[in-house]
Homo-oligomer: A and B are copies of this chain.
Amino acid sequence: MTDPSLVTQIRTPPGTIDLGLGDPPFDLLPLDLLRRAAADAFAHRDPHFLQYGLEQGSLPFRAHLADFLARGYGFPISAESLFVTPGASGGLDLLCTLFTRPGQTVLVEEPSYFLALRIFADHGLQVVSIETDADGLLIEALEAQLKRVHPALVYTIPSFQNPSGRTLPAVRRERLVELAHDHDFLLVADEVYHFLGTTRQPPASFSAYAQEANVVALNSFSKILAPGLRLGWLQANPGLIQQLAGCGLLDSGGGLSPFTSAVVGEVIASGGLEAHINKLQAIYRERLRFMDATLRRALPGAEYALPEGGYFFWARLPGVDTSALRERARARRVDLRPGKLFSSRGGLGEYMRLSFAFYEEEQVEEGLQRLAQCL
Q: Which residues of A contact B (CB under 8 A)?
A: 1-2, 4-10, 23-24, 26-27, 29-31, 34-35, 38-39, 42, 44-55, 58-60, 86-90, 93, 97-98, 101-102, 113, 115-124, 222, 226-230, 247-249, 251-260, 262
Contacts and interface: CB of A to CB of B under 8 A. Distances in A.
Contact of A7 (B7, B48, B93, B260): B48
**For A8, A23, A29, A30, which residue has the most chain B Cβ atoms within 10 angstroms?**
A8
Nearest to A226: B50
**For A2, A9, A39, A255, which residue has the most chain B Cβ atoms within 10 angstroms?**
A9
Contacts of A230: 86, 253-254, 256-259
A32 to B, nearest CB: 8
A21 to B, nearest CB: 10
B2 A226 contact: no
A259 B229 contact: yes
**For A26, A51, A93, which residue has the most chain B Cβ atoms within 10 angstroms?**
A51
B116 A8 contact: no
Contacts of A88: 253
A6 B58 CA distance: 6
Given A51-B26, A102-B102, A259 B97 contact: no
A36 to B, nearest CB: 9
Given A86-B256, A227-B254, A31 B50 contact: yes
**For A26, A59, A256, A259, which residue has the most chain B Cβ atoms within 10 angstroms?**
A259
Q: Which 5 A-B pairs have the closest CB atoms?
A: A118-B248, A115-B252, A89-B253, A228-B258, A119-B248
A38 B37 CA distance: 11
Given A23-B52, A229-B259, A87 B118 contact: no
A252 B248 CA distance: 23
Decide if the interface of chain A is mainly helix, strand, loop or mixed: helix
Contacts of A9: 51-55, 254-255
Contacts of A24: 51
A257 B229 CA distance: 7
**For A24, A117, A257, which residue has the most chain B Cβ atoms within 10 angstroms?**
A257
**For A55, A59, A227, A253, which residue has the most chain B Cβ atoms within 10 angstroms?**
A253
Contacts of A39: 35, 38-39
Nearest to A23: B52
A176 to B, nearest CB: 23
A232 to B, nearest CB: 9
B60 A248 contact: no
Contacts of A35: 39, 42
Contact of A253 (B34, B53, B90): B90
Contact of A52 (B45, B86, B228, B249): B228
Contacts of A49: 7, 228
B116 A252 contact: yes
A113 B44 CA distance: 34
A50 B251 CA distance: 28
B248 A4 contact: no
Nearest to A252: B115
Contacts of A10: 51-52
A247 B119 CA distance: 7
